[in-house]
Amino acid sequence: MMAVRDKQFFVGSETLQHSRQTGAALIIVLGLVSVMSVTAVVAFDMFGMFVRKTTNSQIMSQAREYALAGEILGAKRAGAVIKANELFGVSDAINDTDNGLKVDMPIDGGRIKGALKENTNCFNLSTLVSKLPNGSYVANVMAMQQFSNLLQAMGIGKTEAASLTAALTDWQDSDTRPLPMGAESAAYNRLDPPYRTSDSRLVSIKDLRLIRDFSVDLIDALTPLVCIDPLDTQTVLNINTLQPHHSVLVKALLGDAVTIQQASQLIALRPRGGYDHNRRFWQMKIFEGKAIPEAVRGQFITTPRRFLLTVDVRLNTARTRLNSALHFNPDGSYIIISRYFGA
């Protein structure tokens, strides 16, 4: 009788053990199902993010294509402005930064806005060096003197202006021998961290931050007056679109031939409709008895040479901006000096 009870007890224990094993297995299975569910959710979320990312990338790519198409239209508009300027004289629209030379039009799923601005009237920092046939760069003495004139017209002393000009020229020329009051790589190697001169033309106005003695305040003051265009050998000014604040540029190119007040008068006395030829400009009374070199006379032109173009595109969720600098040749063709996407 005892044996039976023991057997029953053994059977009961075996059943209990089996039940516990089944429960544990169920917990494991449920755990796996839970993990798989979480993994599936994460996987679907990641897939959704990938799809959205791919879609957003495609939309952004399309927005950039719209911007590049806008660049082509903007270049054609600039060419038309130049042609109209040659035929009918200067238009007020070219100087009207608020209302002139702008476009705003809808596109499928968004909008495109464009703004075109003439950028001929600036001191071209690229001209401080001349490019030789072998590809090397040497100091351009005439441009150096004119840049020094510009700095002095802005209120900087003659000695400091000469030092700044020499440092900027040394930064761009190919040799390692510093100009008088200049600075070559040896001067920058002593800094922490050390670096060397570019030995080539500036790429951006921001590069001025690397050059000796070019302070933030000076760069801010220079920025609206200077530009970078490697296609010109000398700075040129469009006498038909000069504005009052450009008097320092006129003074820079003409040097001691005029005072800053006379430079302002030259701009203020421009005839309505502008000059059809720069000969009329040189016939002004201010120039009587003054010998202006032909090289300097050639720096004053009557048609736009450069334009800045900004194209803003909004396409669904995408936003992009294209900034382009265009150089126009006398035959009407153009070259893109620089192009970048961003604010």
What's the CA gap between 32 and 41, in Å, rounded? 14
Residue-wise pLDDT tens digits, 264-273: 999 999 998 8
pTM over 0.95: no
What's the CA gap between 213 and 216, in Å, rounded? 9
Beta pairing, strands 334-341 & 318-328: antiparallel
Q: What pLDDT, on a 0 to 100 scale, did the predictor assign at position 4? A: 45
CATH class of 53-120+306-341: alpha beta
What's the CA gap between 325 and 333, in Å, rounded? 14
Q: What pLDDT, on a 0 to 100 scale, did the predictor assign at position 85? A: 79
Cβ atoms of 90 and 240 closer than 8 Å:
yes
DSSP for 241-285, please give it. Answer: T--GGGHHHHHHHHGGGS-HHHHHHHHHTPPTT--SSHHHHHTSG
Q: How remote is the C-alpha of 121 from its chain's centroid? A: 17
Q: What pLDDT, on a 0 to 100 scale, did the predictor assign at position 84? A: 83
What's the CA gap between 203 and 171, in Å, rounded? 12
Q: Which two tokens stand for residue 268?
A: 């203020």
The end-to-end CA distance of the chain, in Å, is: 96
Residue length, the chain? 343
Cα angle 213-132-248, degrees, rounded to a multiple of 5:
40
- Residue stretches of the chain with pLDDT short of 50: 1-11, 16, 29, 35, 40, 43-44, 47, 50-51, 97-99
- Residue 338: name the closest of 323, 317, 319 by CA: 323
Q: What pLDDT, on a 0 to 100 scale, did the predictor assign at position 95? A: 57
Place of tokens 């979480």: 38
CATH class of 126-225+251-289: mainly alpha
Q: Where are the domains of the chain?
A: 53-120+306-341, 126-225+251-289
Q: What pLDDT, on a 0 to 100 scale, did the predictor assign at position 240? A: 95
Residue 303 makes CB contacts below 8 A (sequence gap 6+) with 82, 85, 86, 238, 240
Cβ atoms of 266 and 253 closer than 8 Å:
no
Beta pairing, strands 110-118 & 102-107: antiparallel
Three state DSSP letters for 321-332? EEEEEEEECCCC
Share the mean pLDDT of the chain.
87
Q: ω before 193 within 30° of 0 (cis)? A: yes
Tell me which DSSP letter residue 179 carries. P
